[in-house]
Amino acid sequence: MKPTRLALALFLCLGALAPARAQNDAPVQQQISETTAAALLVQAGRLDDAKLVLAHVLQITPNDNQAIFLVGLIAVAEKRYDAAIDEFRRILAVEPDRERVRLELARAFFLDADYDNAERNFKFARAGDLPPETKTTIDQYLAAIIRLRRWSYNVGVALADDTNVNGATSVHTVDLYGLPFTLSDNARRKSGAGIALDLGGEWSPLLWEQTKARLGGAVHRLEYGGHSFDDMTISVYAGPEFLFSRWQVDTLVTSFRRWYGGEPYNEGIGGRGIVSYIVTPALQLTTAFDLQTVSYRVARFQNGLLTSANIALGYTLSPSSIVRLSGGIASQEAKLAAFANSTYWLALDYYRDLPWGFSGNFQPAYSWTHYNAALAAFGVIRADRTLALRLDVLNRRIEYGGFAPRLSYIYVSQQSSIALYRFSRNQVQLGLTRQF
């Protein structure tokens, strides 16, 4: 039997499908589309018949999003979650605001135990025009994810082209103790190409009903030719997390170590407290407080206590966009007062899925740093103003093994009361990400 006839025959046989009736109570035949017929077959549990109909539809109209959606639903029913995720993402690449598709994508990730992507897409779906009972179900999924998620990780690797790999000034001479000195080549800005690597992971098992353990770490590395300006930081943390209906409280022990140019640069150990509060399902408030003792391997006069605090508001605007506003303050003590300082910063993070499969993420940030005393060599107190901009663009249609290529542009400009510390840099990165 041909797919069209099969679907039509099923429709006519199912009295529960509410056919129109004439005055003599006899059913009146109605024509329906093949896609509608396939949906009825899916509802009736006749998946093999539905697949025949959908194969015919997609042979004629390969970009029929309703048919693609039904193919995804069938894949979920058959526990082929990777295939379902591919189908739902295919639709969202064209129509990023389809909240029902977001919801099914989130559910497929959840059933596949990919809780990070499930959480992200559930939050997007909830921002759409869904019935109240569906939003309540999403809230239950989100609460379950917090307890079920035992492992999370992020991987980012990129080729980087940088106009200022050492973050140095472009001036040729500076005045020290009132006399002009010419800067060596190594002290001035250098351009170069290299590799940027970011790895992170966390193990967070549920210990009791309201308590989880958190054990994680991260590696950030920039590696350039010649290794003189290679920069690597390894950080680790561990501690308990306490869960409440709308609150999360973390108390962590933290530590880091940094290498620059292949040599140990500095290290620190301390603690962090984090409090997160769900103001509304779409709005989350997070505050954090850090305290670390920082030690430098060579410049020991910079050793001291680093204290910082920050606050962030994250809001899901729509099924395809989210915005995050954050700010903070940090105070660095030092044995030599000229290196002790206070920093204030503000940052915005705006993400949006666009048509044709593109996604964009824009992150502007601005900081003010003021030092406590004058540097003897310059005779003035150092004060810096730093503007940082980052733009990430990727195409969700280009994906393999959960990763998509990402193009990033990073711009940093620092103005300072001391010429030696003024610089700007432009960096372009081409790499892979799994966060989309």
Instruction: Identify the pLDDT of residue 189.
Output: 76
Q: Give the Cα separation of 349 and 327 in Å (integer).
A: 11
| Domain stops at, among 111, 128, 148 | 148
Residue with token string 């939050």: 123
pLDDT above 50 for 11? no
- Average predicted confidence (pLDDT) for the chain: 88
In this structure, are 73 and 221 located in the same domain? no
Residue 172, pLDDT score: 63
Beta strands in 358-422 (DSSP E): 358-375, 380-395, 404-416
With 0-12 CB in 10 A as exposed, 13-18 as middle and 19+ as buried, what is 39?
Answer: buried
pLDDT digits (tens, 9 = 90+) for 50-65: 989 899 989 999 889 9
Residues 6+ apart with CB under 8 A from 351: 321, 322, 323, 359, 360, 361
- How far the first Cα of the chain sits from its last, in Å, is 42
135 and 193 belong to one structural domain: no
- Binned at pLDDT 50, 70 and 90, residue 286 comes out as very high
The percent of residues in the chain predicted with pLDDT above 70, rounded, is: 89
Q: Same domain for 155 and 140?
A: no
Alpha-carbon span 397 to 403, nearest angstrom: 11
What's the whole-model pTM score? 0.83
Rounded to whole angstroms, the Cα distance separating 284 from 327 reads: 15
Task: For residue range 15-36, list pLDDT tens digits in order.
Answer: 434 444 444 555 556 678 888 8
Q: 270 versus 171: which is more confidently predicted?
A: 270
Helices then strands, counting H and E runs in the chain, come out as 8, 17
Q: β-pairing, 304-318 with 151-162? A: unpaired
Helix (H, G, I), strand (E, B) or coil at 436: coil
Percent of the chain past pLDDT 90, that is, above it, reads: 62
Strand partners, 215: 203, 238
Give yes or no: residues 62 and 109 share one domain. yes
Does residue 239 share a domain with residue 155?
A: yes
What CATH number corresponds to the domain at position 18?
1.25.40.10
Domain identity same for 69 and 83: yes
Considering the domain architecture, whether residues 354 and 242 belong to the same structural domain is answered as yes
The number of distinct structural domains making up the chain is 2
* 292 and 177 within one domain: yes
Range of the domain at 413: 151-433
Residue 257: both structure tokens together: 């170590």
Residue 138 CA to chain centroid, in angstroms? 20
Q: H-type helices in 150-213, by residue range? A: none
Is the pLDDT higher at 308 or at 379? 308
The answer to whether residues 112 and 140 belong to one domain is yes
Least confident of 50-59, 179-188, 217-226, 322-331: 179-188
| Same domain for 428 and 310 | yes
